[in-house]
Amino acid sequence: MLRLMPPRRSFRSLPTAFTLVELLVVITIIGILMGLLLPAVQSAREAARQTQCSNNLRQLALAALQHEAANRFLPTGGWGFGWVGDPDHGFGMGQPGGWIYNALPYIDQRNLHDSQLGTTGVARANAAWTMIQTPLAIINCPTRRPLKLYPTWFTSASYFCTPAFASVSVPPGAPPILVSKTDYAGNAGDSWAEPHDVGFSGTSAGYNGDAGPGTYAAGTNPDGIAKWKRFSTPGDIAYQTGVIYEASTVKIANITDGPSNTYLIGEKHLMVDNYENGADEGDNENAMMGFNEDICRWAGPNIGSPHQDAPGVLDPNNFGSAHPNGFGMTFCDGRVQVISFSIDLNIHHLLANRADGQAIDATKY
């Protein structure tokens, strides 16, 4: 019987490696693809960071409105940079801490707000230090800088007026004190002013300029309370037209231009060079302090245009952001909107004034 043999196959040696030309072609193609893909990835990451920033602002606005519902006024701006929040002094004009401290109970931080309760002396000082050294993601813009503690410019605990720090001292030459910072600021109005420069009168002696009253008594006696009330009085030299300013107690009913036409809280401008060194005048203290450029900003004719953070540009009174396409602002109705850096300045000013009586074209911002 004959057997059919399978046909012979021809075997050729296969190449065992890429040639240099082939490698160069592949590397070139990968480089081109990476060049095309990287901007898209970076853009997507920035969009996610800006979304998170807007969510932070939305939560802060809702907290402010919950505060208004509970206390019948928006969170106060506090007394001055020499003070921090104190749970024994309520939520009104007698509260030295600013709007961030007063919003704590409404952003699930009641324990941080109340951490000094029932303490005295060194224990109270330690509780206050812990408070100002607790970073909070909700007051941090992820585009600008990581969530961590940053240096403050002062080197002595005597910097504070509040008695909570009276028993604490910082030795000369000690490292910079690290504190929690905020990237957001309350709307103090359409005209920059330093109401604390007006000063106290009569029995309110001991006022320490923009640091605030020298004692609790100076800030809460009849003369002190009368001074705070002046800031909400139209025509007064210290009149503040916004919704969060020194010792403010602004009600929604006081916003006669309408909550949807009035800024509440927004992103603040910082100089890029000072993101992490505490040297910016609008970022050199802590987030739990009283009224100061660190936690409040203006949008007045004497402030100029809001703008993106940039190297070498110091603008501690202005709104702005690290985002390339605009800065986030919340309105007194709780909504959040990204505002263009090129917003019509007249519209920008009107949005910062709670009661100017001017009509605003919403298509202009």
Mean pLDDT of 78-100: 92
3-state secondary structure of 200: coil
Give 323's DSSP letter: S
Q: CA 233, 330, 140: angle at the middle one, nearest 5?
A: 110
Question: Residue 214 is encoded by which pair of tokens?
Answer: 């020298």
Lowest mean pLDDT among 137-151, 159-173, 190-204: 159-173
Lowest mean pLDDT among 69-73, 192-196, 291-295: 192-196
CA 11 to CA 240: how far, in whole Å? 91
pLDDT at 195 over 60: no
Q: What is the largest CA-CA distance in the chain?
A: 131
Q: CA 102, 157, 225: angle at the middle one, nearest 5?
A: 45
The per-residue pLDDT for 4 is: 55
- Between 249 and 170, whose confidence is greater? 249
Mean pLDDT of 65-92: 94
| pTM score, whole prediction | 0.85
pLDDT at 187 over 70: yes
Q: What is the CA radius of gyration of the chain?
A: 27
pLDDT digits (tens, 9 = 90+) for 269-310: 999 999 999 999 999 989 999 999 999 999 988 899 999 999
- Between 233 and 353, whose confidence is greater? 353
- Between 32 and 140, whose confidence is greater? 140
Amino acid at 356: D
CA 171 to CA 178: how far, in whole Å? 15
Chain-centre distance of CA 87, in angstroms? 21
Asked if 89 contacts 137 with a C-beta cutoff of 8 angstroms, the reply is: no
pLDDT at 254 over 60: yes
pLDDT at 199 over 80: no
Instruction: Count other C-beta atoms under 10 Å from residue 243's C-beta.
Output: 31
The per-residue pLDDT for 203 is: 41
Lowest mean pLDDT among 44-58, 93-107, 204-218, 234-248: 204-218
CA 111 to CA 105: how far, in whole Å? 8
Give 248's DSSP letter: -
Lowest mean pLDDT among 3-7, 39-43, 191-195, 201-205: 201-205
pLDDT at 202 over 50: no
Mean pLDDT of 338-343: 96
Mean pLDDT of 251-256: 96
Confidence class for position 32, pLDDT limits 50, 70, 90: confident
List helix spans (H) across the chain. 20-71, 99-103, 110-113, 121-132, 216-220, 222-230, 345-352
The per-residue pLDDT for 247 is: 92
Asked if 243 contacts 352 with a C-beta cutoff of 8 angstroms, the reply is: no
- Between 120 and 162, whose confidence is greater? 120
Mean pLDDT of the chain: 85
Confidence class for position 204, pLDDT limits 50, 70, 90: very low
